[in-house]
Structure 1
Amino acid sequence: MEALARIRLDGQGLVREVEAEASLGFRAAGVPCAHLVQGKDPFGRPLCARCPALRELKRGAYRASTPLVVNGRRLRCQAYREGEGFLVELYPERTKGPDLLREASYLTQHLLRHPEAFAQGVQDFLRALREALAMEAAELFLADPEGRHLFLTAYDGPHREAFLERPWFALGEGYPGIVALRREPLFTHALEQDPRYLRERVKALGYRTYVCFPLELPHGLIGVLNLASRDPEADHGAVLEALGHLGPLLAATLYTVLTRLGEAGLEPLGTALRRGQATEATERFLAEVRRFSQATGARIVGRGGRRAELGWLPPCGMRDCPAWRGQVVGLKTSLPDCPEAEGRPRICLPLWAHGEVVAVGTLFHARPPKPPTAPAAPVLWLSRLAVPLLFPKEAEGKEAPELEVYALGGFRVRYRGRELGPRDFGRRGAYQLFKFLLANKDRAIYLEELAETFFPELPPERARQEVYTLVYRLRKTLPGIVEREGAYYRLHLPEKRFLDFEHFEALMRRADLEEGLSAFKTLREALELYKGPLFGDDPYGEWAEAERAYLQERALSGLLRLGELAEALGYREAAEEAYARALRLEPFLEEARARLLALRG
């Protein structure tokens, strides 16, 4: 429905622009919004002078609303943050719910400007989602970057404590874990009879309809969105249709904001590390974590005993904490309790780099957030780019890696010094399976996904048996390379390994933090590894397309930057070669063509 009035305000709340029905009589500009609207509450008392909507926006919300009466008409005031100012809209009291795509757009703009308001912004969006879809409860679970756990990050609705009964799930566990694993929506109208749903207090409150939807990107899953209602007749079809349109945009927003958080922290971190100031770099990282999570104190402890703290935290030795084994634990937070901790609530997070836990981080809140796991996943995303720099892998000496994989431009495998071909895997399908797992090395693969990918023409049971055979052959050739965890498989790479695409990405990230000659050298080293597209011997393998496109985009951006650096350093021939190579990879890359023509006169 079209708004009856649309009023744009500056950052001080003064009217800049007014569009309104003539019957409302709104014409003034340059005055406070309260003077223009002069709304009252249902009891006839002045409301706009103490406007609850603007109050919420000034506290950090991206949206807020309130009922009011204007000239005897019962209306609803809906307000948004818009750039440096605000947008106020007036609607009839009884109108349809908010436009969800518009809400997602405002959320995106808000979080990109104010990432520290992540928790509040997401909760406000969940409230709009409930209103639009006529559901009682909405919750967002975010996945950690390693794809092992899902954390309840935001909740809106009644009966909060019941939904907080279980604020985290492992992959494949409970409704969120099942949806994250299968990447397919799940719904029910008989929640009380479904043993897969693990929060008994929610069932006891009479919730019947539950819709669980994956938030997926081409390269992985960022989270799961859930909606619940006590109405067994709630229209799940309308909910799924709306989430089908909204899901990709919301997933992209969450991923972009969380990734930009990590990238924003790299610049000061990289500056300190280049100066050899590892302690200062660690303290800057902790300051960013503490600011973003609103924690009273933050601590990080490395495997070698290196330790840093910021703010006040309860004491803890952190020697035998299960977080060292990759578990997320806490104390009085509904997470699994750490046996080493005592006293006040906290969360301990495993910090991963190079395929292993290299440090453990602790967050302490004097007033625990609700949900208590709200900062867990965002902090892990914030940490994922910084931790490998803070805790670089120790040199392995001259000992050859156990496993070597060259997948850029072709595919070659060496295991314990011996080169392996398709015949060494017993069946060519096992060779292909290894490629597929490498392309998805950071996530668990559901058995059914493998069956559908490799044997789409076979009946399901026969396809599963064929997958078992391929896994057996692969394990026989590369012992221990595949782990089975319940209904899914995960690639288990040896610690002493060399994957050319993994090393390429590590060097590109290092170059992102460097400048001048140092960046030039690192980029050349990285781009020497890029012999061509990922699995170039299998160009039609759709299962590798997302990772293949990502690595090529990294190579193209690296070649353009290499050319710029070469020009600045006076290496004309190196600049020409970089631009020419970029054009060989992408013939229609106009930026490279223009620079090459400029160099050649």
Structure 2
Amino acid sequence: MPSQLMQTLSWTAGTLSSDPRQFFHVVRVLLADLRRATGMDVAELFLADPQQTTLFLSGYSGGDHSAFFERTVFRFGEGFPGRAAQGREALECSELVGDPRFLRVRVKVLGYHAFVSVPLVLPHAVIGVLNLAAQNGEQLEQARQRLEQIAPLLAASLYAVLTSLSERTLGRVQSGHTPQERALGLLEENLKATSALRAALHPRQGTAVETHPGQIHPCPGPERCPALRGLVQISGHAELNCSLQPRDVQTVCLPVWHGGEVIGVETVQFSKSLTSGVLTEAAAPLLWMTRLAAHALDLDAGRPDPAPVPWLEIETLGAFRVRRQGQILSPRNFKRRQAHELLKLLITRWGRPVTVEELCEVLWPGEAYGQRVMARLHVTLNALRQVLEPPEGDRTQVLVRDGGAYRFAPGIPVHLDVQAFEVLVRQGDTQHGEDAVASYAQALELYRGDFLEDDPFTDWYALERDYLRELALRALFRTGEIQTAAGQWQSAQMAYTRILTIDPNRFEAYEALISLLTLLNRTEDAQVCWERYSRAYGQAPPTFPRPIVARKPAGQLLG
């Protein structure tokens, strides 16, 4: 096995163990290196569910996405991946056109002839299947041999990572003192690993728990949910789409297994911009994460002595969420819709006064400022105080009147994610090397999305949203520069890739990423990145030439 491919496998396991949220990107890097090392055109990773019934596409590298994404899920025994998993033996074919085992018709139409599937097998389980495809079959035999060489190590590495994710989730669940805290522990670990927006747990018996109460579309028929029968449901997926979910919501619904029984359903909601193929990638890791934690949910039992928490915890980066003494508040807890929106308006100006006229204009647009609107504002302020401020007898205020204006200036412990985020970025700015990268990493863990990204009052929040996004991008740029200087190539690549996830039109990130890939002799990937840069730019960038692809002998790993 080439030493550099071994290094890539080692880096994959190490990175995923320390930062599971990088799972999908790290797998893509691994597959890109594997594709180059074998001289094949496409590399795929299908992960198996813990129940050993289904394979989910969890990573892809190569072109012709739409053709290969024709099928992103295979049952054991179906198609090349399913047959390889069920038989625990490699399958290969040098002429797909006449092979009925290969089920993706559009791949055949595009002229792909060679295909090999190698199962990733441990004594007690099939972890997944690695696939390689090419239009020219000259490298097929060597590709199969290379896959069979790395398969045992990759199977062990992936199992270790998936088990680590399960154990991390189990630890978080076990730290909960109440059924709700334990369920939230499971859900929040899953959000962290997949960068999803929201999640909910619907037990067969008992009350549903949501990470963002009232913000997930309620299922119109939970008792009829196919996930209760053990079937994964994915929005928009050809085989797994749930007819009960609305079309404009991107969700994955997963059975929560305890032993051989489904004890509930977990619903995870993603950004509307994602495709069903991307949602499929999240399914298997999420199922593995609940594998150990399900038995510890213990939804009917409580535990004493909860740890002290701030009076208020407010999350504004990504979806908006408020906790009061550890309990999540839904918009309904605020009694009036405008009270929920008023809190967001005041938080945006943290500590600074917002005039009564400004508040009325935003909360009741188009209505003339006068006594009627002022009366509404006073009622709304009173409703907000009842939710945010301690009970009568404690004179501590959260909302402070300042002449003809109001301020959010709590005199009690409050955790606000944007405050912590900004402090950590500023701290990283004063540091160097690994210390700076560590501070930036803590800050970026808080950056789950744009400031109040789902809020309709876009104009009011635009300046704060842009400012915080620029802080995140600055932290990522400097992280990439430090890691490049230290020779941490893959980590630097992840930093620049995340920049483009946040802002696809950040041209400096394209140029930094292309330069890095070119430095590593990964000219094919550099060219693909340059083509994306050109689409974002609207034409070929006039000052940044297209990388020249240098063909390398099969078996030579680049980067």
CA displacement, residues 387-425 of structure 1 (integer Å, 9 cap, x when unaligned):
12215799xxxxxxxxxxxxxxxxxxxxxxxxxxxxxxx
Does residue 333 of the first structure (1) align with residue 214 of the second (2)? no
CA displacement, residues 96-116 of structure 1 (integer Å, 9 cap, x when unaligned):
998322211121222122222
Give 1:383's aligned amino acid: T
Query: Measured at CA, do residues 393 and 313 of structure 1 come closer, stay the same or move farther in structure 2, by a change above 3 Å?
Result: closer
CA displacement, residues 509-539 of structure 1 (integer Å, 9 cap, x when unaligned):
xxxxxxxxxxxxxxxxxxxxxxxxxxxxxxx
Does residue 143 of the first structure (1) align with residue 48 of the second (2)? yes
Greater RCO between the two (CA within 8 Å, min separation 6)?
2
Give 1:306's aligned amino acid: T
How far apart are the structure 1 equivalents of 2:4 and 2:278?
26
Matched with 1:178 is 83
Query: Measured at CA, do residues 159 and 314 of structure 1 come closer, stay the same or move farther in structure 2, by a change above 3 Å?
Result: farther
5+ residue gaps, structure 1, are 1-95, 395-601
Give 1:194's aligned amino acid: D
Matched with 1:319 is 223
Matched with 2:7 is 102
Identity of aligned residues (%): 38
How far apart are the structure 1 equivalents of 2:19 and 2:107?
33
TM superposition shift of 1:214? 0.3
Matched with 2:254 is 349
TM superposition shift of 1:316? 1.5
Give 1:368's aligned amino acid: L
Give 2:12's aligned amino acid: L
- Choose which of 145, 155, 160 in structure 2 pairs with 1:241: 145
The 8 Å contact of residues 296 and 365 in structure 1, kept in 2 or not, is answered as: yes
TM superposition shift of 1:203? 1.3
The 8 Å contact of residues 179 and 299 in structure 2, kept in 1 or not, is answered as: no
TM superposition shift of 1:269? 1.7
Matched with 1:209 is 114
The 8 Å contact of residues 265 and 285 in structure 1, kept in 2 or not, is answered as: yes
Query: Measured at CA, do residues 132 and 253 of structure 1 come closer, stay the same or move farther in structure 2, by a change above 3 Å?
Result: same
Matched with 2:435 is none
Does residue 374 of the first structure (1) align with residue 253 of the second (2)? no
CA displacement, residues 201-260 of structure 1 (integer Å, 9 cap, x when unaligned):
1111111100000001121110000000011x3322211211122111111111001101
Scaled by the length of structure 1, what TM-score is found?
Answer: 0.47
CA displacement, residues 335-373 of structure 1 (integer Å, 9 cap, x when unaligned):
422121122232211111121111111122113265330
Matched with 1:443 is none
* Counterpart secondary structure, 1:198: coil
How far apart are the structure 2 equivalents of 1:348 and 1:186?
32
* Counterpart secondary structure, 2:292: coil
Give 2:204's aligned amino acid: R
Which portions of structure 1, spanning 4 or more consecutive aligned residues, are displaced by more than 4 angstroms? 391-394
Q: Superposition pairs for residues 67-466 of structure 1, below 5 Å?
A: 99-231=4-136, 233-272=137-176, 275=177, 277-311=178-212, 312-317=215-220, 318-343=222-247, 344-366=249-271, 367-368=273-274, 370-391=277-298
The 8 Å contact of residues 97 and 133 in structure 1, kept in 2 or not, is answered as: no
How far apart are the structure 1 equivalents of 2:185 and 2:107?
41
CA displacement, residues 457-480 of structure 1 (integer Å, 9 cap, x when unaligned):
xxxxxxxxxxxxxxxxxxxxxxxx
Query: Measured at CA, do residues 252 and 393 of structure 1 come closer, stay the same or move farther in structure 2, by a change above 3 Å?
Result: farther
How far apart are the structure 1 equivalents of 2:61 and 2:172?
36
The 8 Å contact of residues 167 and 371 in structure 1, kept in 2 or not, is answered as: no
The 8 Å contact of residues 97 and 131 in structure 1, kept in 2 or not, is answered as: no
Scaled by the length of structure 2, what TM-score is found?
Answer: 0.51
Matched with 1:34 is none
Matched with 1:564 is none
* Counterpart secondary structure, 1:300: strand
The 8 Å contact of residues 151 and 168 in structure 1, kept in 2 or not, is answered as: yes
Give 1:387's aligned amino acid: A
The 8 Å contact of residues 40 and 139 in structure 2, kept in 1 or not, is answered as: no
Give 1:341's aligned amino acid: Q
Q: Superposition pairs for residues 569-588 of structure 1, below 5 Å?
A: none
How far apart are the structure 1 equivalents of 2:293 and 2:239?
25
TM superposition shift of 1:149? 0.7
5+ residue gaps, structure 2, are 302-559
* Counterpart secondary structure, 1:306: coil
How far apart are the structure 2 equivalents of 1:194 and 1:142?
24
The 8 Å contact of residues 354 and 393 in structure 1, kept in 2 or not, is answered as: no
CA displacement, residues 241-295 of structure 1 (integer Å, 9 cap, x when unaligned):
11122111111111001101111122232122xx4x1111111111111111111
How far apart are the structure 2 equivalents of 1:374 and 1:216?
20
Alpha carbon RMSD of aligned pairs, Å? Answer: 2.0
How far apart are the structure 1 equivalents of 2:86 and 2:174?
35
The 8 Å contact of residues 79 and 101 in structure 2, kept in 1 or not, is answered as: yes
The 8 Å contact of residues 138 and 228 in structure 1, kept in 2 or not, is answered as: yes
CA displacement, residues 541-596 of structure 1 (integer Å, 9 cap, x when unaligned):
xxxxxxxxxxxxxxxxxxxxxxxxxxxxxxxxxxxxxxxxxxxxxxxxxxxxxxxx
Give 1:209's aligned amino acid: A
* Counterpart secondary structure, 1:158: coil
The 8 Å contact of residues 139 and 154 in structure 1, kept in 2 or not, is answered as: yes
Q: Superposition pairs for residues 496-535 of structure 1, below 5 Å?
A: none
* Counterpart secondary structure, 1:187: strand
How far apart are the structure 1 equivalents of 2:266 and 2:11?
32
Matched with 1:5 is none
How far apart are the structure 2 equivalents of 1:234 and 1:371?
31
Count of residue pairs the alignment pairs up: 295
The 8 Å contact of residues 77 and 84 in structure 2, kept in 1 or not, is answered as: yes
More displaced stretch, 196-205 vs 207-216: 196-205
* Counterpart secondary structure, 2:192: helix
* Counterpart secondary structure, 2:138: coil
How far apart are the structure 1 equivalents of 2:278 and 2:43?
13
Matched with 1:503 is none
Bigger fraction of residues in helix: 2
* Counterpart secondary structure, 1:298: strand
